[in-house]
Structure 1
């Protein structure tokens, strides 16, 4: 593994400064960052075989559930957001979803919406929950413990039921962007561009791993949720010029390709279509010159999400070479993939820029230290995050 010393240092500092390994520091948990951090610890465990990294991943999952599964200590409410009693909640920590971990309290029903403040207010984001589902399925594989898989399944069921809605009984299904902490009301009505796609991929991945963990009952599969998420994907266009959004699209494409090659699950969304929608954003990013701007005018975590997505595309080519008899890509998809290959060098460009110490001294980096550093580590060693592995054979 290249940059292994940098990755170890990043994760050691993250564990210390966020209160995971240092009991003198008040824990600071944030769901998106912590989902990537779990995968980083698992990657270090896979690379080194050192059980301490697996223990760090376990401890982080436990702390996320204990903190983000309950109301914050500044909230007048207390206890688990699921409303379950202590014992039941510990057995089903994702049954009520998980808070984002934002610094400000969620907007009350009496407060008027404020677009600027909403970014700093707590609540629940669907796309953060899907990242946590992904982290939990990885934990199930790396530990062989069924509880993690069941928690991922329960989180998917809760999230889908709470975020998805129809305005009329026969109207199209939609999805809220942001919900209240207790999932009782929407905080932002609009639908995230890639949320339905994230739902489809995450649900398919959970279903693929269910049988390996003894989850076999038909009512525990996510077939209805998959069908409803697919209905929201119909006619959608995924193209975006946001680096993090492009990265997410590339990652979802790779995950769908793996589901076909490793689990014989035909992608319900054409991979050629997804690959085609990746290209305009990458072209726009190159034309904009954004990646040549000084560090103080850039958001590292968004670029590093793109770098991780580009690594997914590099691994897609390797995956296809390993499975020459699998027709994971049709002719159009192969052409689309070839058109994306020359963007691959952007991954190294982004990572090398943010590895420079001087570029980590600017205010935007320091303001988002946790998420920036953790996603830098993921972009440097993304395999635990990217690969959908079966229970045996890490």
Structure 2
């Protein structure tokens, strides 16, 4: 097994393929994502990983310059994806004092069509988590406050009524101005990710001494209701979905512990089937690199390394990460290069994605 120092160098190498030579942060400016990776050079999911990975570098090295890189990336994303596609104005409802009140665009290259721009719930919640990580690492509450205001702004736009009854249900995509849904159902984990990230935001607000109030209590109760209604909570054989299930299952929760354990148990059984037994239709690990999607498998590896205590599963996940270190560049399409590299770095060293890293950073609710 490679030493932590060697992993750190490999981690940095993957990040530099996306963000350039960021070591000299005094002179570094956030570059556009390489390839055809996002509109106006930004893509929300990729840059959320970028922010969390810079926080990981701060924890791994003790060097504050990596937090400066994370802050610059945050500002660049807000200045790009928090504005209309032509950059002329902030998104509808936002202002200079409330820059995230209009949400954040995905950053899709095309404006319309089935894969056009808009806002994804699971991208937004991941971005909130990235802001939260930066708040904890920098001890600057303003980043957690930004995440809370973003949560409050976007949540109602993804909640829909069923046949006129105000029973909480969701859609996974809405228009760029958040005025209408662009999908008919929720994503598999939208309620779970909403619940655990919103719970985290409230916990960190309390950690900063902002009182015992839970500013996102009503929103969390809606997510929890949807999660309870969907029981038993289960993962799926989709690799990225599996990874995000396991990642979500690690969160401490005031009310949802039983549900999250249920999700983690099911995800762990699927992970063992895929990564150890490697049988059945859900396993793709025997296929050639060109017939697999690196970023989805790397998402599974990240979730496993954040959650699993199964040594065989973790060891085989490490082997998959090493496989993609050698094959990602030759097999990933140009538009997936950036997302693949940031997720490769996270799968090498989960760091700030792992709520128990480093020891003592895990926040307990009180």
Q: What's the TM-score once normalised by structure 1's chain length? A: 0.79
Q: CA deviation at 1:346?
A: 2.7
The correspondence of residues 225-236 of structure 1 with structure 2, limited to 5 A, is 225-236=219-230
Separation in 2, partners of 1:197, 1:95: 22
**Residue matched to 1:336:** none
Separation in 2, partners of 1:384, 1:10: 17
**Residue matched to 2:250:** 254
The number of equivalent residue pairs is: 340
- Find 2:12's aligned residue among 8, 11, 20: 8
Change in CA separation of 1:71 and 1:309 when aligned onto 2, cut-off 3 Å: same
Q: CA deviation at 1:367?
A: 3.5
Change in CA separation of 1:174 and 1:388 when aligned onto 2, cut-off 3 Å: farther
Q: CA deviation at 1:215?
A: 3.5
**Residue matched to 1:83:** 93
Separation in 2, partners of 1:346, 1:159: 38
SS in 2 for 1:377: helix
Q: CA deviation at 1:280?
A: 5.2
Q: CA deviation at 1:38?
A: 0.5
Separation in 2, partners of 1:180, 1:140: 29
**Residue matched to 2:36:** none
Separation in 2, partners of 1:305, 1:383: 14
Any gaps of 5 or more consecutive residues in structure 2?
34-39
- Find 1:360's aligned residue among 312, 329, 353: 329
Give 1 or 2: higher helix fraction: 1
SS in 1 for 2:285: helix
- Find 2:349's aligned residue among 381, 385, 389: 381
Change in CA separation of 1:24 and 1:360 when aligned onto 2, cut-off 3 Å: closer
Q: CA deviation at 1:145?
A: 1.0
Change in CA separation of 1:194 and 1:209 when aligned onto 2, cut-off 3 Å: same
Separation in 2, partners of 1:17, 1:33: 17
Separation in 1, partners of 2:268, 2:338: 30
The correspondence of residues 247-326 of structure 1 with structure 2, limited to 5 A, is 247-256=243-252, 259=253, 265-279=254-268, 281-282=270-271, 285=274, 286-287=278-279, 288=281, 289-314=283-308, 317=309
Q: CA deviation at 1:155?
A: 1.2
Change in CA separation of 1:126 and 1:17 when aligned onto 2, cut-off 3 Å: farther
**Residue matched to 1:137:** 132
Change in CA separation of 1:282 and 1:149 when aligned onto 2, cut-off 3 Å: same
Q: What's the TM-score once normalised by structure 2's chain length? A: 0.85
Separation in 1, partners of 2:28, 2:108: 21
Separation in 1, partners of 2:103, 2:124: 7
Change in CA separation of 1:132 and 1:282 when aligned onto 2, cut-off 3 Å: same
Change in CA separation of 1:94 and 1:215 when aligned onto 2, cut-off 3 Å: farther
Decide which moves more: 92-101 or 62-71: 92-101
Separation in 1, partners of 2:10, 2:109: 29
Show CA shifts across 1:213-265 (max 9, x none): 353374x6211111111111124242311010011111111123xx5xxxxx3
1:95 to 2:84 alignment: no
**Residue matched to 2:206:** 211
Separation in 1, partners of 2:217, 2:151: 12
Separation in 1, partners of 2:217, 2:30: 43
SS in 2 for 1:3: helix
Superposition CA RMSD, Å: 2.6
SS in 2 for 1:202: helix
Show CA shifts across 1:199-226 (max 9, x none): 11111111111123353374x6211111
Q: CA deviation at 1:72?
A: 1.4
**Residue matched to 2:191:** 196
1:39 to 2:36 alignment: no
SS in 2 for 1:273: helix
Separation in 2, partners of 1:238, 1:42: 30
Separation in 2, partners of 1:138, 1:149: 8
Separation in 1, partners of 2:66, 2:19: 11
Q: CA deviation at 1:279?
A: 4.2
**Equivalent pair of 1:299/1:365 in contact (CA under 8 Å):** no
**Equivalent pair of 2:224/2:256 in contact (CA under 8 Å):** no
Decide which moves more: 123-132 or 266-275: 266-275
